[in-house]
Amino acid sequence: MDTARPGLVEPKPEPPSWTLRVRQQIERRLPMDHLLPDRQPYYVGSWVYVFGVVTIAALGWVVVSGVVLAFMGPQWWHDSSLGRFVNSIHFWSVQAFFIFMVLHLWGQYFMAGWRQGRASTWLIGVVIFGVSILTAFTGYLSQQNFDGQYIAINAKDAMNAAGAGAFFNVLNFGQMYGLHVMLLPIGVIFLVAWHIVMVRMRGVVKPIDAEGATR
């Protein structure tokens, strides 16, 4: 016969299915009011916090214009006026992406955005920066013009000297184009999505001089 004893907490039984366990974990760690908040702390009211959002907007334009370019092909993006326009949208969106990513980096550096359990968010951002450089570099190699050839021929010695030439051959157009239009963009988009989810889980870091925020 089992009677309830005061002070003794019965352990909660493990949920019977892994889908339920995953759902409960997500609901606990990332509730919807964190994922899509309608209010933010007062210190978020600064233009510095806008740089990250502009970076995401630029990435959106990069992806959209890149899909069109991949669908239409090099002859279209070199020879037709609309193709050159979309090519320019792709190029200048990348410039905006990098400029605002660096401004976001400066902002997060000076507010020490890695504080209070946000180190992984910062580190994912560092990886995004590196993968983005590789994506932009393979983009320069995918232009299908003399600029692309010039860059590939000059880059090959550096790649070989660094020991990367055996598996990252800048003279192999198929490899560079495949990396540029498929694998690296998937990597950047996945990492950016992960970065945003991390920001939403933890919230925006408090200013250094705010109470309890100096650690």
Site stretch for other proteins (CB under 8 A), options 103-111, 137-145, 164-172, 189-197: 103-111
Shorter beta-carbon distance to other proteins: residue 153 or 164:
153
Please choose, from the candidates 120, 133, 45, the residue with its C-alpha nearest in 3D space to the C-alpha of residue 94.
133
Considering only residues 28 to 57 of the shown chain, the ones binding other proteins according to CB under 8 A are: 39-42, 44-48, 50-51
Please choose, from the candidates 80, 84, 104, 81, the residue with its C-alpha nearest in 3D space to the C-alpha of residue 92.
84
- 108: Cα separation from own chain's centroid: 15
Indicate the helix (H) or strand (E) that contains 137: helix 119-141
Site stretch for other proteins (CB under 8 A), options 22-30, 68-76, 96-104, 189-197: 96-104
Nearest distance from C-beta of residue 50 to other proteins, angstroms? 7
Distance CA 21, CA 32 (A): 17
213 binds other proteins (CB under 8 A): no
Binding residues for other proteins, total number by CB under 8 A:
16
215 binds other proteins (CB under 8 A): no
Nearest distance from C-beta of residue 38 to other proteins, angstroms? 10
- 40: Cα separation from own chain's centroid: 22
